[in-house]
Structure formats: structure tokens, C-alpha cells
Amino acid sequence: MVGVIALATRGGDAPTAAQSTTEPIIPEVSEADIAAAAQQLGPRDQELVNIGQTGVSINRAGGGRKYVALTFDDGPGPDTPAVLAELKKLGVPATFFVIGANIQANPDTFRQVVSAGHEVGVHTWNHKDMTALKPAEQKSEIETAAGEILSVGGVASRLFRAPYGAVDPAVLKRAEDAKLLSVLWDVDTVDWMRPSADQIVQSAVSQAQPGSIILLHDGGGDRASTVAAIPRIVKELRAKGYEFATVGDLVISDPPGADDMSSESRSTQR
């Protein structure tokens, strides 16, 4: 897990007479605590943040190892538990780029993502086109989502994915200021359009290369076809000799080169 920072459980009443008087009272986690924790960088965190050059996003890893990363956007949502169940059966780690408002609406589901050992990344608070926002609004979209990840899940992410893949120098600067590595993708399954499972599998498997970052969704609508496609994607890619890693593990073990990064948007109509 990238940047795991343990936080005390929030809230709690004073001990009753039936409780041990030596039981500690767990303090409330303040916004200042969250902000401070989000800025702490362990060695692995620092390595992730340093991988990207200033003003670029990572589209894929370097291609030196036959590994790919499955990524899921727009959750947590109603289909997230089914996605988690498939990944558990397959023994596959994944990276979930989560929306702050959806964490707030589905905190238990988000904790399931974290407890399963998957990596999480910031996908803003409300899934707005970041390039259309003022700098202060961009900052708020990133920081409020990062704070929700930390306060609900107890982890500090070092990854950021802009909604719609829409980035520009200002957006990339906001990510850099928040000590986040901007991550896009090189394989788009277009599952956001709700194609059949067959089409999703074909898109993922035919486009995958060593180091690929594969875009899928667990939120934002009915993801039944995506859930059905997951075991087939894994089976077919494994048959081709591929293994799976989180984005963080992928890019640390196989750092991207200049051709694997860009300052361009990958905007879609999602």
C-alpha cells in the first residue's frame, strides 16, 4: 500500500464505570492532523513523487517487465464490492482512483478497498473538469478528496488522476503542490460507454503492452459488464505471460521514460 499512515479512530465517548479506567481516550483527528499527514513522505512515497518530471503525467511504466496495472475510476459505488470480490478470487492487486464525495456516501465500501490491500488515488471531490476551474477550486478538489481518503481509510495516497484525463500545466502544478504523481493511462477499455463484456475484454487484451496502465471503472453507472470482464481480462493476459501490479509498484519497479510521460490531456466524454 502506498503511503499508509495510521490514524486514530475518530470520536468516542468517555469511559463508563464498566470500562477500565486505564483505557485511553482516543482523540479526534483534526483537519490539521490530516493536512500534516498528507505532506509526510516516506522513502517509497518520495520515490513515487520523484518519478514524474515537473509538468507531466505518467501514461505507463517503462516496459521493461511484463506487468500491467488495472485501475478503476469513479468509485466507491454499488458495483465496487463485486469488483473487489473478483480481484480477490484472482489474487490481483489494483489501483482505485476514488471520488471524495463517493467516499463520503459509501465509507464502508471504501474501507473494504483499503482493507483488501489495494492502492488508492485521488480522483477529486466532485469529478469536475479540472482545466475549467480556477486555481483555488482545483486545490480544493484535490485536497478535500485527499483528506477524505486519509480520514476515512487511514491512508495517504501519492497518486492523482484528473477526471476525464483533462490536465494542463495548472492542474499538474496543483498535483505537484499536493505531492501527488499524476497518472493517466495508455489502455482505455471505454467501459464508461457500457459496451459488452466481450468488447471490454477485447479492448484491454489487444492494447496491453508491458508496463500498460489499463483504465476501467467501478463507479459512475452500471458496471456489470466491467465486473464480468475482469476474470477474462486477467485470464487472457496471464496466458500471454503478463502479471499484475498496482500503479505504484509498477512504476517504481519499472520507471517510465520520457516517451511514457506527457503533458497532454487524454480527455474523453465520460
Q: Which residues are catalytic?
A: 73, 217
Cell of 200: 471490454
Distance (Å, rounded) from C-alpha 215 to C-alpha 205? 12
Cα 245 to Cα 93: distance, rounded to the nearest angstrom: 6
Residue that has been written with the C-alpha cell 493536512 in this structure? 35
Q: Is the dihedral of CA 1, 169, 213, 224 positive or negative?
A: positive
Cα dihedral 9/14/19/25 (nearest 10): 40
Residue located via cell numbers 464480468? 228
In three-state secondary structure terms, 10 is: coil
Query: DSSP letters of 125-166?
Result: SS---GGGS-HHHHHHHHHHHHHHHHHHHSB---EE--GGG-
Instruction: Name the amino acid, one letter, at 158.
Output: R
Q: Which long-range contacts (CB under 8 A, 24 or more apart) does 28-34 make?
A: 29/151, 31/147, 33/7, 34/7, 34/147, 34/150, 34/151
